[in-house]
Amino acid sequence: MPDTMTPPPSHDPALRVDLQAEMRETQVGEVLAQLDRELVGLAPVKARIRQIAALLLVDRARKRLGLQAETPTLHMSFTGNPGTGKTTVAKRMAEILHRLGYVRRGHLVSVTRDDLVGQYIGHTAPKTKEILKRAMGGVLFIDEAYYLYRPENERDYGQEAIEMLLQVMENQRDDLVVILAGYADRMDKFFRSNPGFRSRIAHHVDFPDYSDGELLVIAEKMLEGQNYRLSEPAKEALAAYIGARRTQPHFANARSIRNALDRARLRQAVRHFEDPGDGLTLDDLMTIEASDILASRVLTQEGRLDPQPTAGDTP
């Protein structure tokens, strides 16, 4: 059988590619730096994204020197609990892929089962086709992807969407990257039930939960972005809140902290409204006090702290 492989170009020691120059030209380094600024912790995730970026950068350099190869498979799986930064990382991944020339547009289309699967015969195909059309040239992010497959319901139409996705992931991988996301154990079961997906996923990235200290830093960054700050007693109260909230059901890492801060801001506003004193200073309007945190039922329930009823007392 004749050898059909394309021979590499003749070795020329004068041919060189400066990867650092490639980084500057594509601005991939800036995207990675932005990811570092945006997300606290997540060292293993950031390391894996840098590895993928390095692979693609070298692949680009090889092409420049005439070493043609098949486009690498770029579909990914992001596993971890809610609120661990999966969507943010997917956005930055889309930017990296675009800057390196692996997708045309670099946008992210984020969907769930309801965006893809219809409720009656003939409804699923047009819904899925529309989503795929919107995502072409970028990244399709499917959150809680395991809900596409519901074997317990024989009248479920998720399998139709799965078959369409698999076909596009294989035949149009030069124009679309798919990222499947969800809880690690459920995603593993999903892949066992749908081996076609597992065989098309090149990169599996696991997102760890944030530590209590990391969540406190995240909270301060969130407040800083809205021109708020914590007093020192409030910081101590929030640290206690984080420890208590983590033990409760439906804890969603940074998402739960964001919700808690929204309620703290509400309590602060009600506190000032009910007792404006002689007027409010800039510092008054910017500072979250301990009482704004301690009023949460997360801390007052079951005798964790002596309840001190205040306006806006919600979890």
CATH fold for the domain made of 212-303? Helicase, Ruva Protein; domain 3 (1.10.8)
In Å, how far from its chain's centre is CA 69?
Answer: 30
Identify the band that residue 141 occupies on the pLDDT scale cut at 50, 70 and 90: very high
Helices (H) and strands (E) in the chain, counts: 15, 7
Q: Per-residue pLDDT averaged across 258-281, rounded? A: 93
At 16, is the secondary structure helix, strand, or coil?
coil
Which tops the pLDDT comparison, 312 or 101? 101
Identify the band that residue 4 occupies on the pLDDT scale cut at 50, 70 and 90: low
Identify the band that residue 311 occupies on the pLDDT scale cut at 50, 70 and 90: very low
Of all residues in the chain, the percent with pLDDT exceeding 90 is 70
Encode pLDDT of 190-210 as tens digits.
Answer: 999 888 898 899 999 999 999
Establish whether domains 71-207 and 212-303 are of one fold.
no
Identify the band that residue 239 occupies on the pLDDT scale cut at 50, 70 and 90: very high
- Do 31 and 46 touch, CB atoms closer than 8 A? no
Encode pLDDT of 171-181 as tens digits.
Answer: 998 899 999 99
Distance of CA 207 to CAs 39, 126, 188, 196, Å? 12, 33, 14, 23
- Do 264 and 294 touch, CB atoms closer than 8 A? no
Q: The pTM is what?
A: 0.84
Q: Per-residue pLDDT averaged across 241-262, rounded? A: 95
Which tops the pLDDT comparison, 227 or 159? 227
Alpha helices in 206-253 (DSSP H): 212-225, 232-246
- Compute the C-alpha angle 276/286/237, nearest 5°: 95
d(CA 288, CA 282): 12
Identify the band that residue 165 occupies on the pLDDT scale cut at 50, 70 and 90: very high
Identify the band that residue 19 occupies on the pLDDT scale cut at 50, 70 and 90: confident
Say what the pLDDT of residue 13 is: 59
Strand-pair partners of 140:
109, 178
Which tops the pLDDT comparison, 282 or 15? 282
At 203, is the secondary structure helix, strand, or coil?
strand
d(CA 222, CA 217): 9
d(CA 1, CA 272): 83
Count Cβ atoms below 10 Å from residue 208 Cβ, excluding itself: 15
What value does the mean pLDDT of the chain take? 88
Of 52, 47, 60, which is closest to residue 18 (Cα–Cα)? Answer: 60
Residue ranges per structural domain of the chain = 71-207, 212-303
pLDDT exceeds cutoff 70 at 1: no
Residue 219 identity: A
Question: Cα dihedral angle (143, 147, 149, 154), rounded to 10 degrees?
Answer: -150
Greatest CA span in the chain, whole angstroms? 92
Q: Does domain 71-207 have CATH number 3.40.50.300?
A: yes
